[in-house]
Amino acid sequence: MLKDLLESFAASGRVEWIGLRPARKEPMQVVETAVVADAGLIGDRRENPGKRAVTLIQMEHLPVIAALAGLDCITPDMLRRNIVVSGINLLALRHHEIRVGGAVLRTTGLCAPCSFMEKTLGKGGYNAVRGHGGLTAEVVEGGEINLGSVVEPASR
């Protein structure tokens, strides 16, 4: 019974934002389409295979992070994650294979904040992101991801 509950989602999610990090601490490049290859997102600085090839964050957590940081709002590029997802509980998909547009990713763990959050969000920024920083993922199957792409468990 618990297994059934853990695999039940009210709806699919969707990709709301896509960003590439061309180099460490360089401004994010916002794109409408990204291509996922074996080594991760083409054009992203983490273009290497591994458990942190792609980073994802929950759109619904952005206002929470802003509130905890004492800000009116934050933008996805401030958090330096690759893909912003809405409509599905991303943390419930931890350690699962998920289909994001034409790609299949395996979420590998929590995406912890870095000390750069203090500079970007101000004092307390690091702790504001803790627990809300999203997930890391490795590539199972490459493909194209577009704004509005469906996000769902790969088993659907």
State the pTM of this model.
0.93
Query: Are 142 and 105 contacting, i.e. CB atoms less than 8 angstroms apart?
Result: no
For 133, the token pair is: 């920083």
Residues in a beta bridge with 105: 98, 139
| pLDDT digits 0-9 by tens, 79-93 | 999 999 999 999 999
Q: Which of 77, 78, 62, 74 is nearest to 29 (CA)?
A: 77
| Model pLDDT, residue 48 | 66
Structure tokens at 62: 């952005």
Domains of the chain in sequence order? 13-153 (2.40.33.20)
Split at pLDDT 50, 70, 90, the class of 2 is confident
DSSP for 25-41 reads TSPPEEESEEEEETTEE
**Nearest to 94, CA basis, from 45, 138, 141, 146:** 138
| Token reading at 71 | 């800000």
Q: What is the pLDDT of residues 88-113, one digit of tens each?
A: 999 999 999 999 999 999 999 999 99
